[in-house]
Amino acid sequence: MFCPECGARVAQPAAASPQPVMGTPMPPVPDSSYQSPPAAAPQEKPSLMGRRGVVVAVIVVLVVLLIGTTFESGLIGPVNGSAAINSANDPLTGQQLYSAYATDQSSATTSYTNKTVYIQDTLDFGVSVDLRSGQYYSTVDQGLVILIWNNPSQVGQLVAGNTILAKCSVVGPVSLRGALGVFVYLQDCDLVKVQSASATTLAPGVPAANV
């Protein structure tokens, strides 16, 4: 490069090196698929209904569903009449019968299924009727053992809290889809004796010698 005034050579200045420019970092791009979690729904206060009433109501509903489903599916069939494997003086309780199936179903099936037994226990809610099958039924052992009554004329004696002695045919364990666990079914039950807090009543047509 030459000076325009005198024509002498002039040294060319070095070019300035570029300086990096510090900018504000870009914010992250939000994920369009993300959704904020919904607000938790307020919890309802527990019902004021007593525990016993709730338990009885649940038992009745489950038994009605189970009886209707079982009869419609043909799971309960005729049980061959046979002599009872025990006596009225040595009856089983509902808990004993249910525990036998819960502990060893194969052994209990051999011992009780399609057999006639005497059972003595306290009724959960008295008696009810399944509208689909027309069967009268009661439960013992907190709804786990279901008794289907053979003689409608006897059901008037079935009151919640009464202790009954009955002769029944054991169908065996039956499960209901959606229900917890299984139930033990007894059908063709004939009432032998009813015991309340005040008195003991023999069922019609049953001699005292059989009690």
Residue 175 has a pLDDT of 76
Q: What is the arithmetic mean of pLDDT over 188-209?
A: 71
pLDDT of residue 174: 84
In sequence order, the 6+-apart residues with CB closer than 8 A to the CB of 185 are 70, 76, 146, 148, 170, 171, 172, 173, 174
Domains of the chain: 51-210 (2.40.50.140)
Predicted local confidence at residue 196, as pLDDT: 86
Query: Lowest-pLDDT range, 56-65, 150-159, 178-187?
Result: 56-65
Share of residues in the chain with pLDDT > 70 (%): 52
pLDDT at 182: 83
Could you read off the pLDDT of 98-112 as tens digits, one per residue?
999 999 999 999 999
Spatial CA neighbour of 69 closest among 161, 146, 157, 127: 146
Convert the pLDDT of each residue in 8-61 to its tens digit.
665 555 544 444 444 434 444 444 444 544 555 555 544 444 555 555 555 555
pLDDT at residue number 28: 45
Distances (CA, A) of 182 to 28, 162, 185: 56, 24, 10
Question: Is pTM beyond 0.75 here?
Answer: no
**pLDDT tens digits along 68-91:** 544 444 445 554 456 899 999 999
pLDDT of residue 83: 86
pLDDT digits (tens, 9 = 90+) for 131-152: 888 999 999 999 999 999 999 9
Residue 158 has pLDDT above 80, yes or no: yes
Instruction: Return the pLDDT at 70.
Output: 46
